Amino acid sequence: MARIVMKFGGTSVADMDRIKKVAARVKAEVDAGNEVAVVVSAMAGVTNQLIDLTRSAARLYDLREYDAVVSSGENVTAGLLALVLQDLGVAARSWQGWQIPVLTDASHGSARIEGIETEELARRLTSGEVAVVAGFQGLEPQRQRITTLGRGGSDTSAVALAAALQAERCDIFTDVDGVYTSDPRIVSRARKLDKITYEEMLEMASLGAKVLQTRSVEMAMKHGVRVQVRSSFEELPGTLVVDEDEIVEQAIVSGVTYSRDEAKITLRSVPDRPGVAASIFGPLAEAAINVDMIVQNISSKEKTTDLTFTVPRGDVARAIAVLEKHADSINHEALSAEEAVVKVSVIGVGMRSHAGVAQTMFSTLAEKGINIEVIATSEIKISVLIAEEYLELALRSLHSAYGLDKA
């Protein structure tokens, strides 16, 4: 007998038919002798409807009331699933975030979990009752106000609950059946991974992989929660996200991934003096513009440098406006921006102990005539910026070069 947490997203509970299928899966775990807590999202599309209603009610709305409205979608799903389980003869009740309670800070709209009081919940689980928990929700204890956890909040709720309940694992049910070595829509020979480390999953999530949100992976890694990504629609084993020590034989590279949300900005002939980087990146940080890859080149002109960096595509216009506002302090000769670029990355904890990973990447791209514009590395990741038109060719070529193609 094990204690497990099962999380179902909006597409998994989109209508009553799907909620009944979810209930059947939960009942199967109960019949197998497991203690089960279920975390649910709002039905597909409901949260967006509630956000639109809030915005139509007031242009400058109170975030505390925003949370009260937007969190209500999960209450409906939790209640309906509890009713269906009861109809199947399974002891179950719904729990809202404030009833457990899931204690958070006061950052309404994007609150962070500070603790979960699980004594009563654990007692109910031990007695055989299924807990159906409304995800995405918390309670700010000082003012006794409902909070929401922001994007990917239900995943975060599930992992946090699994940690607090000391569950054996947390199963995240989504519309994909696991984590793949690359995007199977582009790389037809991509294969599903049986296991992946927290660090690798964190890198993939930060690069835009929609399987898990970064916050939930960070929490799982911090508390050692074993997370399994599974399909809501098929009875297939998924991908386990685990500690590095659980994977006996590490692949050098586990995946090849990409991000289209990139734009390149170049400042030419910037004075090569102490403090110039701070004069560029300080104002961008104050404007909440995230800078990713950075490369500095010594210019042909004496005592000047060319500086290239990337920002999200949606922030290009704001970034240019900030830089032009501070043009006098930066003292550059020219500024250019390009949006038709993508970031391609190879990820793997095996890089720590194997040489030549970067060389394989660079030589493979060179053989295909793909020019590298910017390079960035970390302990388990190498990223390059290339022209967007070469994305598919680069992914397929690198996937083959690292021996990731399925047989």
> Going from the N-terminus, what domains does the chain have, and what CATH number goes with each?
3-246 (3.40.1160.10), 267-333 (3.30.70.260)
What 8-state DSSP symbol labels residue 176?
Answer: S
User: Residue 299: what pLDDT?
Assistant: 61
Tell me the C-alpha distance between 193 and 181, whole Å. 7
Query: CA-CA distance, 375 to 271, in Å (whole number)?
Result: 23
Separation between Cα atoms, residue 286 and residue 276, nearest integer Å = 16
Asked if 317 and 310 touch (Cβ cutoff 8 Å), the reply is: no
Reported as a pLDDT band with limits 50, 70 and 90, residue 301 is: low
Least reliable range by pLDDT among 128-132, 164-168, 299-303: 299-303
Tokens coding 32: 């197998």
pLDDT recorded at residue 118: 95
Write down the H helix ranges in 331-390.
Answer: 357-367
Residue 300 pLDDT level (bands cut at 50, 70, 90)? low
Residue 60, CB half-sphere, CA atoms under 13 Å: how many?
Answer: 0
Q: In what order do the strands lie in the sheet with 195-197?
A: 92-95, 130-134, 35-40, 3-8, 169-174, 227-231, 239-242, 195-197
CA dihedral 210, 215, 220, 223 (to 10 degrees): 180
Q: Residues 99-118: what's their mean pLDDT?
A: 94
pLDDT at 331: 87
The pair of structure tokens assigned to 172 is 């995240």
99: which DSSP letter?
A: T
The string of DSSP letters for 266-307 reads EEEEEE-STTHHHHHHHHHHHTTPPP--EEEEE-SSTTEEEE
pLDDT of 45 above 70: yes
Residues with Cβ < 8 Å from 185, sequence gap 6 or more? none
Long-range contacts made by residues 364-371, C-beta under 8 angstroms, separation at least 24? 364/397, 364/398, 364/401, 365/394, 365/397, 365/398, 367/397, 368/393, 368/394, 368/397, 370/394
Is residue 148 a contact partner of residue 63, using CB atoms and an 8 Å limit?
no
- The rounded mean pLDDT for the chain is 92
Q: Two tokens at 365?
A: 């791209």
Q: Contact, 295 vs 309, CB < 8 A?
A: yes
Mean predicted confidence (pLDDT) in 237-253: 84
Residue 70 confidence (pLDDT) above 60? yes
- How many Cβ atoms from other residues are within 10 Å of residue 129's Cβ? 19
Neighbours of 17 (CB within 10 A): 8
Q: Yes or no: say if 1 and 36 are a contact pair by the CB < 8 Å rule.
A: no
Task: Please state the rounded mean pLDDT for residues 9-35.
Answer: 95
Confidence at residue 208, expressed as pLDDT on a 0 to 100 scale: 66
